[in-house]
Amino acid sequence: MSQTTLAGMRIDPKPSSRSWRVMLRDLLGRDWAAAYIFVLPTILLMGGLIAYPLLRAVYISFTNTVSLQTGPFVGLRNYENVWADRNFWAAVGITTRYTIWSVLLKFAFGLTAAILLHRLKRFGGILTAAILLPWIVPSVVAAIAWKGLLDPVYGGVNQFLIQTGLVEKGFPWLGSPNTALASLVMVNIWGGIPFFTINLLAGLKAIDKEYYEAAIIDGASAWRCFLHITLPGLQYVIIVATLLSTIWTFNTFDMVFLLTGGGPVNTTRVFSVLAFEAFGAARYGVAVAIAISMAPILLIFIFALGRHMSAGNQREEATAVARSSLQAKAMSVITWPVRMAIKAVVAVFFLINDVVERIFEAVGAAIHRAFFGNSAASQRSARRIGRWVSGSFAGLVLLIFILFELIPFYWILITAFKSTRQIVAFDSVFWPSPWTADQFETLFGPTRRFTLWYQNTVLVSVVSTAISVLVAAMGGYGLTRLRWRGSNMFGSSVLIAYLMPPIMMFIPMYQIFTALKLTNSLTGLMVAYPVFGLPFVTWLMMGYYASIPREMEEAALIDGCNHFQAFWRVILPLVMPALMAASMFAITLAWKEFIFAYIFLSKDRLYTLTIGMAQMIVGDVLPWGELSAAALLMSIPVAVLYIIGQRFMVAGLTAGAVKG
pLDDT at 26: 63
Tell me the C-alpha distance between 565 and 508, whole Å: 40
Burial (0-12, 13-18, 19+ Cβ within 10 Å), 111: buried
Indicate if the pLDDT at residue 411 is higher than 80.
yes
pLDDT tens-place string over residues 544-556: 787 777 777 778 7
What is the rounded average pLDDT of the residues 575-588?
A: 83
pLDDT at 313: 47
3-state secondary structure of 238: helix
Q: Cα Rg for the chain, rounded, in angstroms?
A: 28
> What stretch of H or E contains 23?
helix 17-28
- Cβ atoms within 10 Å of 146's Cβ, excluding its own: 25
Percent of the chain with pLDDT over 70: 80
- Pick the more confident residue, 448 or 5: 448
What is the rounded average pLDDT of the residues 201-208?
A: 83
* pLDDT-derived band at 359, boundaries 50, 70, 90: confident
**CATH domain 31-59+102-367+442-657 topology:** MetI-like fold (1.10.3720)
pLDDT at 320: 41
How many residues in the chain?
A: 660
Tell me the C-alpha distance between 62 and 81, whole Å: 12
Amino acid at 615: Q
Indicate if the pLDDT at residue 603 is higher than 50.
yes
Indicate if the pLDDT at residue 495 is higher than 70.
no
Residue 4 has phi, psi (to 5 degrees) of -105, 130
What is the rounded average pLDDT of the residues 321-329?
A: 48
pLDDT at 16: 53
Domain boundaries, the chain: 31-59+102-367+442-657
Nearest one of 552, 358, 587, 341 to 460, comparing CA atoms:
587
* pLDDT-derived band at 657, boundaries 50, 70, 90: very low
pLDDT at 53: 86
Indicate if the pLDDT at residue 304 is higher than 80.
no
Indicate if the pLDDT at residue 496 is higher than 80.
no
What is the rounded average pLDDT of the residues 283-290?
A: 90
* pLDDT-derived band at 124, boundaries 50, 70, 90: low
Nearest one of 422, 377, 479 to 628, comparing CA atoms:
422
CB 197 within 8 A of CB 132: yes
- Pick the more confident residue, 366 or 448: 448
What is the rounded average pLDDT of the residues 222-230?
A: 81
State the maximum Cα–Cα separation within the chain, in Å, rounded to a whole number: 114
Indicate if the pLDDT at residue 331 is higher than 60.
no
Percent of the chain with pLDDT over 90: 15
Q: Which of the residue ranges 103-107, 526-530, 617-621 has the most confident prediction, judged by mean pLDDT?
A: 103-107
* pLDDT-derived band at 433, boundaries 50, 70, 90: confident
pLDDT at 164: 82
Indicate if the pLDDT at residue 109 is higher than 90.
yes
pLDDT at 324: 43
pLDDT tens-place string over residues 232-281: 888 888 888 888 888 889 988 888 988 998 988 899 999 999 998 998 88
